[in-house]
């Protein structure tokens, strides 16, 4: 998962053609450079041969030594070579360039089309499979975002537990290993998915063990509303990909060792807010608040 098993990359015909042409172009320029260096050395050699060694001494044309004409002819050939490389064969001509550009553009369009289709189907680039469900974080958090201490809850709110049971009944509940271990036993009528990095973590029958959050979500993909039920570590990771947050905001601040991440109101929109006063079964004032991700 997490996109480890990528399909091998193949170079197609068009890409191969582009590559070959690029190599050809490099060779052309290399040859021109060698020609230039040979010309410089050759010119010096001709001058030395004529002036210092005396080769063809006395052979002149229009009053000039023969090497002047030899160098001029060679210079002309070199210029012709330059012209060929930079003008005539400038990347196989304009038409060729246009054709390559069109090919590249149509390839990009094809790729964009594929990505758009994948997005429509909800296929993420990091291994998330087809998405049909509304991933929901469900949590009870204090005003200072405290959610737990010593691997336990901090308060007792009877109505919150009832709401938790009603909302999650019949669904997948995704949790971190520590939260799972804070339960006396698995909750009835829910499919438990426990996330751990341990390779051989043992859990009671029926409890699904996974090693990544993405695996947990993929397993629950046919559930219309899988719930992430904590704790702090898992909320922190899941809030980036969740669709909804069902939070019971406890109107008090507590000392804690585990916290819910800050809800960014530029990302999350509050759609319901129901205040409850404390009573015999609920020791603090609280509000049931639902957030959905802004479009």
| Binding region for ligand NAP (CB under 6 A) | 139-140, 147-148, 151-153, 175-179, 182, 195-198, 211-213, 229-234, 237, 258
Nearer CB in complex with ligand NAP: 89/178: 178
Nearest distance from residue 181's CB to ligand NAP, in Å? 8
Best CA proximity match to 253, nearest among 141, 144, 139, 140? 144
Nearer CB in complex with ligand NAP: 175/289: 175
* Distance separating alpha carbons of residues 236 and 245, to the nearest angstrom: 12
Nearer CB in complex with ligand NAP: 65/145: 145
Nearest distance from residue 132's CB to ligand NAP, in Å? 23
Q: Tell me the CA end-to-end span of the chain in Å, nearest whole number.
A: 27
Nearer CB in complex with ligand NAP: 147/193: 147
Nearest distance from residue 205's CB to ligand NAP, in Å? 19
Nearest distance from residue 131's CB to ligand NAP, in Å? 19
Cα 161 to Cα 19, 40, 288: the distances in Å are 64, 90, 12
Best CA proximity match to 285, nearest among 174, 143, 166, 173? 143
Nearest distance from residue 202's CB to ligand NAP, in Å? 11
Nearer CB in complex with ligand NAP: 21/196: 196
Cα 270 to Cα 81, 193, 246, 265, 289: the distances in Å are 72, 28, 10, 8, 7
What DSSP element (H or E) covers 274? Answer: strand 268-276
Contact 140, 247 (CB under 8 A): yes
């Amino acid at each position: 998962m997490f996109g480890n098993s990528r399909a091998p990359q193949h170079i197609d015909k068009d890409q191969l053609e582009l590559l070959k042409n690029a190599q050809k172009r490099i060779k052309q320029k290399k040859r021109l450079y060698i020609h230039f260096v040979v010309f410089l050395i050759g010119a010096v050699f001709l001058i030395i041969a004529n002036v210092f060694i005396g080769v063809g001494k006395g052979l002149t044309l229009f009053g000039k030594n023969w090497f002047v004409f030899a160098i001029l002819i060679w210079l002309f050939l070199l210029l012709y070579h330059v012209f060929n490389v930079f003008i005539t064969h400038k990347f196989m001509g304009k038409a060729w360039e246009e054709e390559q550009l069109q090919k590249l553009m149509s390839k990009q369009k094809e790729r964009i089309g594929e990505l758009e289709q994948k997005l429509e189907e909800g296929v993420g680039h990091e291994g998330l499979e087809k998405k049909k469900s509304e991933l929901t974080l469900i949590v009870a958090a204090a005003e200072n975002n405290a959610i737990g201490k010593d691997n336990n809850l901090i308060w007792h709110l009877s109505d919150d537990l009832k709401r938790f049971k009603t909302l999650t009944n019949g669904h997948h509940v995704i949790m971190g290993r520590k939260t799972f271990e804070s339960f006396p036993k698995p909750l009835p009528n829910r499919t438990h998915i426990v996330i751990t990095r341990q390779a051989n973590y043992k859990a009671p029958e029926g409890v699904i063990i996974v090693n990544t959050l993405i695996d947990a979500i993929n397993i629950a993909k046919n559930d219309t509303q899988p719930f992430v039920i904590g704790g702090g570590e898992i909320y922190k990771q899941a809030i980036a990909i969740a669709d909804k947050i069902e939070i019971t905001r406890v109107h008090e601040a507590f000392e804690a060792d585990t916290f819910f991440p800050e809800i960014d109101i530029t990302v999350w929109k509050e759609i319901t807010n129901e205040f409850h006063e404390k009573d015999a079964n609920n020791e603090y004032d609280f509000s049931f608040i639902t957030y959905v991700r802004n479009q």
